[in-house]
Amino acid sequence: MKTIQLSGSLRTNVGKTNAKELRIKGLVPCVIYGGKEQVHFQTDIRAFHPILSSPNPYIISVEVNGKTYKTVLQETQFHKINDQLIHADLIEIIKDKPVIVNIPVLLTGQSEGVKKGGKLILKTRKLKCRGLAEELPDNIEVSINELEIGGSISVEDLKAKGVTFLNAKNVTVVTVSTTRAVAAEENAKSATAAPAKSAAPAKSVAKK
């Protein structure tokens, strides 16, 4: 994962009143945990814009009062009305200790099913992954070259070095569904291929 820088200052008061005052000033209360101690700090809300606007996870190098912590974003809270960030939890990266992050899926190649008129549907845009932060990729690449109409790729079909997938194995990641045009074409082919029924012989009527 790529690294991004963030700086802040220690919070001397961690109460709700203080947090509300910080938000009014355009600051976000944050906490770093998972290491030897919890670190409560505040930072400019604008510093989170590049982190939240990207689908990719980051190693966030946080500098607080001269000390640097390597972290990953674990949880965020947003205002119910204006969707503004109001709190962020970060977990400190400890050597040889895996972290859990959501990593976006990146489809590669060209589906055979799509070439034949099928519709490609990405059902799972991010996967919950566990691994060492320095070894986790920016994306989980999924090749769709062999994907035919009606076919799908599930979590159990995926492999990525240094990554353990935590989603259920039967979760569908991507599929190619049929379309009305393809269905109509298949029906037309079936109708053409079907042998024509021979007409029943006419019955003769004996004259009395």
DSSP for the chain, written as a single string: -EEEEEEEEE-S--SHHHHHHHHHTTEEEEEEESSSS-EEEEEEGGGGHHHHS-SS-EEEEEEETTEEEEEEEEEEEE-TTT--EEEEEEEE--TT--EEEEEEEEEES--HHHHTT-EEEE--SEEEEEE-TTT--SSEEEE-TTPPTT-EEEGGG---TT-EE-S-TT-EEEEEE--HHHHHHHHHHHHHHSPPPPPPPPPP----
- The gap between the terminal CA atoms of the chain, to the nearest Å, is 97
Which residue from 98, 46, 42 is spatially nearest to 72, judged by alpha carbons?
98
> Torsion angle, CA of 53/54/57/58, rounded to 10 degrees?
-80
Distance of alpha carbon 119 from alpha carbon 125, whole angstroms: 16
What is the predicted pLDDT for the residue at 147? 95
pLDDT beneath 70: ranges in the chain: 180-208
What is the predicted pLDDT for the residue at 41? 95
What is the predicted pLDDT for the residue at 18? 83
Contacts of residue 39, Cβ cutoff 8 Å, sequence gap at least 6: 10, 31, 32, 33, 64, 69
What is the predicted pLDDT for the residue at 187? 62
Distance of alpha carbon 111 from alpha carbon 63, whole angstroms: 45
30 and 47 Cβ atoms separated by less than 8 Å: no
Distance of alpha carbon 44 from alpha carbon 26, whole angstroms: 6
Positive or negative, the CA dihedral 18, 19, 23, 24 is negative
